Structure 1
Amino acid sequence: MKTIFSIFELPYSISLDVSALGGAYDIEISKVKGKLYTPHLPAWEKNQEDPLGKLLLAPELADSWSRGSDQIFWGKPHRYPSGESSVHSILLAFECNSLDEDGSAVHKGFISWINLLLDYIEISTNQNVRVDQSLNVYGDNFHLFYFDENGKSSGISDEKVIEICLDSWQKSIDAKSFQKACELASLGFQPKLCYKLFLEANRAYLQKDYRKTVIECGAAVETALTDAIVKKLQLLDTSESDIDRRLRGNKTLGGRFHLADSQLGLDVLQIQYDYRSILVEPRNQAIHDAEFVTRQVARQAIEYTKKLLVTLVPDMPET
């Protein structure tokens, strides 16, 4: 049994909570099991002078590693003393029976795996950490290597190259959420449709397309509401024909809210939020009147959408 490694560099950092630093997370790519290791905080002294000037430390496995004379850049803290940090590099390690077969399998499955991992991080935190699907090429920053009997490192070649476009934004991801993202990505579970639509809304917001933001928020919520309504009616032993009739009688987003809230008593966060002014009206105005949507309106819509999805659809993956 041999171990193959990859020091994966993120062109744009992922923001990690202090609880997620120095961790070892179970992963699996193409049925090859492994670990993802995150770097450590530097050793801060009390009243540390220039604490944010200190770099993150390598995972223990890579403590003495370097690239020739160059130090490996793992990232740096961006908040003191809480320790939230921008992670630039992560260490992947896989236990292999065959270097060639398992190494090739990891290469082939990596793109799908990293896509899912970054999607789940984005859903959890609103960070724009994703593979840019508009690029039909892949960069060259994912390499596998191993150590031979003499301790010399050797690369495992593959023609595939990978390019990752990331943009750190909003909340740092904590250890529990990071582990969950690793698990779901390793299982290959796609996010449910409502969460895929939420990702589109989040990315539109980051691109300052606020009109598209509220439209995609409306689509995400309508999808979640429809599923929740159907499940509720099924629990009430409503016939399929009656379910279809009630849905057809409440086709619009406002109609779905009316059916869920006024008729079925579902929790749509109606006590904390005025969903009509926050989402229904801005979405209708954006679609039907082509009205300009402000950043504030878009942000309120996306915040409400995220909280409502967590309430109505707590399980993110499509299983």
Structure 2
Amino acid sequence: MNTKPARSLLCILTLFSSGPQLLAHGPGKDSDFEGRRVLFIGMDGCRADAIAAAMEKGLAPHLKALAADPQGLHSRQVYAGGELGEVTHQPTVSGPGWSSLLTGVWMDKHRVKDNRFFGARFQAHGHFMRHIKNVKPTSWCASFADWKPIHDMIADGSRVNGQEFLDVKFTLESHAEQYVAHDESMRDQALQTLRTQNPDVMFVYFGQVDEVGHAASDKRGSFSPDNEWYLKAISAVDTHIGSLLEAMRARPQFNEEDWLVIITTDHGGTGTKHGGDTDEERKIWLIAHGKELPKDRLLNTPVPQTAIVPLIYDHLKISTPLPTEP
């Protein structure tokens, strides 16, 4: 059973635009980070062995090509769930997973233990884009997600004194059956941003793979590399990712820009469930592309999902923030 909270059948659209959007720096090297930019893509509930199977079967050609590029990689050493038996140990469900991926800390700090977000401490350990905005107030950050807690809980919970740090925030409230269409909307809005704006950092979340894994959007689905419908969902998101990569590369001064592309997931699964400590639930993956990736470390040593945010900070050449409270 899907462990995410129930969603309304109504579709709710929220688009936030602040003043800095109109004042965004230009393309190429004309940016707060001298042309260094980030495209962070999340595929909810996508098992590591399933993404590998999809690439091997020709169902994820864009992911395969990105990983195979001399500046790319596909790490199978990444894990969710914190350190077993330690204070960082956390359930392998979406709430704690995305909290860790977007803040760079485990549950012992962000305090999110499930999808209700009770007791979350994002004021102390906030969304990574809040820190980017604190370091460079004129930087330009955008987020697109059709699982509303990404914005309603993690991003909004990270605001200090109500101050918005996202220049664009695109959300659709989604029921299980709507994720296919809503993922297309995430793609379309992100494409518009890549083509018409000059983002320093973008986060794009796709939810349909998880819903098929839960057999929520299609009763034939499960979290299995042998499940045809699960692999088809991965293939659909791969096509969306291909469109985003094409738009990124088509930017007018792309050759002057230094893009870090990060693609990963929050958890794996077993059967149609997840949340536990099995290898299938804890083992995740990372596909990345960039000029200065620490390939040896990412490919040959265990990588916690909390390492993603520091990778972004390193690329932008900014320091890791200190917590604002204990």
TM-score normalised to structure 1 length? 0.24
TM-score normalised to structure 2 length? 0.23
Larger RCO (alpha carbons 8 Å, 6+ apart): 2
